[in-house]
Chains A and B, each alone.
Chain A
Amino acid sequence: MPTKAMFLMIKQALQKPFTNPFPVKHAPVNVTALIEKVQKGEVQIYPPIPIPEEFRGKIHYDPERCIGCRFCITVCPANAMEWIPELRKIRHYVSRCMFCALCVDVCPGKKFPGEEKPVKALSISEDFLLADYDKYSDNLIEEPPEAKEKGL
């Protein structure tokens, strides 16, 4: 007895795949060779699906705007913020972050002369490809540049 499900499945087989084959349609045999080919422009990769307007990606930290109020440390549920007492600034570990963006909501920011409104030190970026081998790599820690120079 033919059922509705049978027709659905036959219809499915004739349609284009629903998912986005990012970055390439089939898993490559040699990944390094594929990356080289992409860099030379021989192979085209499928772009990722565009992210929505208010997507919560990696937190960006601007130490110039930070006033050292420590509100972000108070509210952060994952304890991803570390206080640097010598500089009165914070260090943000992206590997611990859970992307709730509470710190962005709570950040008062700083007003430079000539500006009408204060600009927040913490902001949400659209960055979401964060895979790394080392959780303490430079890509995954947001800190003031002086902290790195002085080794704090």
Chain B
Amino acid sequence: MAKTTYYVPIGPIHPALKEPIRVEAEVEGEKIVKVDVKRGFAHRGIEYMGMKRNAIQTLYLSERICGICSISHPYAFVIGSEKALGIEAPPRAQYIRPIIAELERIHSHILWIGVIAHEIGFDSLLFWTWKGREKVLDVLELITGNRINYAMYMIGGVRRDLKESHIKALRDMITYYWEFTEHMKEVFLSDPVYKARTRGVAQVPKDMALKLNLVGPTARAAGLRMDIRQDIPFDAYADMDVKAVVPQDIVGEVRGDAYDATMVRIYEIEQSLDIIEYCIDNLPEGRILAIPNYIALLNKIKKTAGEAIGAHEAPRGEVVHYLKYDGTRDGPSVWKVVAPSYNNINSWGYCLLGAEVADIPVVVAYIDPCLCCNDRVAVVRDSTGKMLDYSFIHKKAVEKTRALEKELGVRK
């Protein structure tokens, strides 16, 4: 009998992938009949690094966990640290923080909308959306000093204040984006080509989304009303009434596919604009840092013990940081990070099964995967599949380093 299925391995390093992950698919014609997703190629041991540094250094290290959301991880980190250490940020800082976080959500969502246009093969639309994204990046650069890696947050406040010129730029940006989202709705949501490529693709029903532990816009597209800003409000989010954006509120029905995910993201941009407007209208006066001297802050951390969980709704879903300070070091003694893409990648296996090969890019892109956030643990197995323990790997590593030193003649 002739062979009917073919094995298609993609990754971990592949021209179509931006970050390392492995997808092994078995195809029969155009249809995928078997699929396996393997992750764990981007482990950097960043939590272990953080547990050896002081809290301020770790905060800036956490900004580098994700390649694009450089405020979500610091936000969760400062929320957790402030709870653990008993520091409260001044009201003005509590209103400046959501502004930066929502600006980042706008730029991240517009980036995703461009990427999905690229994945369905519509590159002119990619450049058009990214042209619109420049405006928010310019505002971020004006306020924080850089386009990415803003270095804005500090345990107990923010480092830079909002000036009158910044508020004027923010108001200009809000008017610009109300117009731009209207254009995006017409270009994406009422376009027959876009509808044909995304309706029914990557469809996850509500009960399956719960079973797969989906979070963020992916879960909201499936109709689940979950949002950290609504469920566990913090900072200025507690003062305003943030409601999760779900398709049943917008059009009245839920399908949970890539088209719904686009809709949720475009409407979330509008929600973010509302939040920014509320924050700049109600911006309180006063200090921006609870403890302005960083050395005094580090001394306080050294004397305080406590543990807490900090959570923030990142553009991709919920980011959770667990922190424990033991009162002997000026940094966290335990630091654990949970990133949203880890949960969302669960949906790939379900969505790819039975899909067509041409739908793979849409299924992969619709959750907005960020693989550098993901990997927290690396496991090494030998040829028989037995897991190797830490001390054995460490011994081997030391042996290899010594051998290399000898070979290369490294001076001690």
Chain A residues within CB distance 8 Å of chain B: 1, 3-5, 8-9, 12, 18, 52-56, 71, 74-77, 98-102, 105-106
Is there an interface contact between A106 and B295, defined as CB atoms closer than 8 Å?
Answer: yes
Q: With a CB–CB cut-off of 8 A, which chain B residues contact A98? A: 60, 149
Q: With a CB–CB cut-off of 8 A, which chain A residues contact B128? A: 8-9, 12
Q: With a CB–CB cut-off of 8 A, which chain B residues contact A101? A: 145, 151
Q: With a CB–CB cut-off of 8 A, which chain A residues contact B295? A: 71, 74-75, 106
Is there an interface contact between B190 and A52, defined as CB atoms closer than 8 Å?
Answer: no
- Interface SS, A side: loop
* 11 residue pairs bridging A and B, Cβ less than 8 Å apart: A3-B190, A4-B187, A8-B187, A9-B124, A18-B131, A54-B142, A54-B144, A74-B54, A75-B298, A77-B61, A100-B149
Is B282 interfacial (CB 8 A cutoff)? no
> Chain B contact residues (Cβ within 8 angstroms of A): what range?
20 to 34
Is there an interface contact between A105 and B57, defined as CB atoms closer than 8 Å?
Answer: no
* Alpha-carbon distance A76/B149, docked complex (angstroms): 15
* Alpha-carbon distance A4/B61, docked complex (angstroms): 44
Q: With a CB–CB cut-off of 8 A, which chain B residues contact A71? A: 294-295
* Alpha-carbon distance A56/B59, docked complex (angstroms): 18
Q: With a CB–CB cut-off of 8 A, which chain B residues contact A3? A: 187, 190-193
Q: With a CB–CB cut-off of 8 A, which chain B residues contact A76? A: 57
Q: With a CB–CB cut-off of 8 A, which chain A residues contact B59? A: 77
Q: With a CB–CB cut-off of 8 A, which chain B residues contact A106? A: 294-295
* Alpha-carbon distance A101/B131, docked complex (angstroms): 29
* Alpha-carbon distance A99/B144, docked complex (angstroms): 12
Given known contacts A74-B295, A102-B151, A55 and B145 CB-to-CB distance under 8 angstroms: yes
Chain B positions 133-160 with a Cβ under 8 Å from a chain A Cβ: 134, 141-142, 144-146, 149, 151, 159-160
* Cβ of B330 to closest chain A Cβ, rounded Å: 9
For B130, the closest partner residue in chain A by CB is A18
Is there an interface contact between B151 and A100, defined as CB atoms closer than 8 Å?
Answer: yes
Interface flags for B254-296 (1: CB within 8 Å of A; 0: not) read 0000000000000000000000000000000000000000110
* Alpha-carbon distance A100/B60, docked complex (angstroms): 8
Between B183, B187, B298, the greatest number of chain A beta carbons within 10 A of the residue's beta carbon is seen for B187
Is B56 interfacial (CB 8 A cutoff)? yes
Between A8, A53, A55, A100, the greatest number of chain B beta carbons within 10 A of the residue's beta carbon is seen for A100
Q: Which of A8, A55, A74 contacts B146 (CB 8 A)?
A: A55
Q: With a CB–CB cut-off of 8 A, which chain B residues contact A100? A: 60, 149, 151
Q: With a CB–CB cut-off of 8 A, which chain A residues contact B61? A: 77
For B297, the closest partner residue in chain A by CB is A75
For B188, the closest partner residue in chain A by CB is A5
* Cβ of A27 to closest chain B Cβ, rounded Å: 19
Is there an interface contact between B294 and A102, defined as CB atoms closer than 8 Å?
Answer: yes
* Cβ of A146 to closest chain B Cβ, rounded Å: 27
Given known contacts A3-B192, A100-B60, A77 and B124 CB-to-CB distance under 8 angstroms: no
Q: With a CB–CB cut-off of 8 A, which chain B residues contact A74? A: 54, 295, 298
Q: Which of A8, A12, A54, A102 contacts B145 (CB 8 A)?
A: A54
* Cβ of A52 to closest chain B Cβ, rounded Å: 5
Is there an interface contact between B191 and A5, defined as CB atoms closer than 8 Å?
Answer: yes
The 6 closest A-B pairs by CB, nearest first: A77-B60, A100-B151, A77-B57, A56-B145, A4-B186, A52-B142
Is B53 interfacial (CB 8 A cutoff)? yes
Is B364 interfacial (CB 8 A cutoff)? no
* Cβ of B44 to closest chain A Cβ, rounded Å: 15
Q: With a CB–CB cut-off of 8 A, which chain A residues contact B142? A: 52-54
* Alpha-carbon distance A71/B297, docked complex (angstroms): 12
Q: Which of A52, A54, A102 contacts B60 (CB 8 A)?
A: A102
For B190, the closest partner residue in chain A by CB is A4
Is there an interface contact between B145 and A52, defined as CB atoms closer than 8 Å?
Answer: yes
Between A5, A12, A76, the greatest number of chain B beta carbons within 10 A of the residue's beta carbon is seen for A5
* Cβ of B252 to closest chain A Cβ, rounded Å: 23
For A128, the closest partner residue in chain B by CB is B146
Given A5-B122, A8-B183, A18-B131: 4 more A-B contacts, CB < 8 Å = A56-B145, A75-B57, A75-B294, A99-B151
* Alpha-carbon distance A75/B159, docked complex (angstroms): 14
Is there an interface contact between A1 and B192, defined as CB atoms closer than 8 Å?
Answer: yes
Is there an interface contact between B192 and A75, defined as CB atoms closer than 8 Å?
Answer: no
Q: With a CB–CB cut-off of 8 A, which chain A residues contact B146? A: 55-56, 99
Is B51 interfacial (CB 8 A cutoff)? no
* Cβ of B187 to closest chain A Cβ, rounded Å: 5
Is B46 interfacial (CB 8 A cutoff)? no
Is there an interface contact between B145 and A5, defined as CB atoms closer than 8 Å?
Answer: no
For A3, the closest partner residue in chain B by CB is B191
* Alpha-carbon distance A77/B59, docked complex (angstroms): 9
For B295, the closest partner residue in chain A by CB is A71
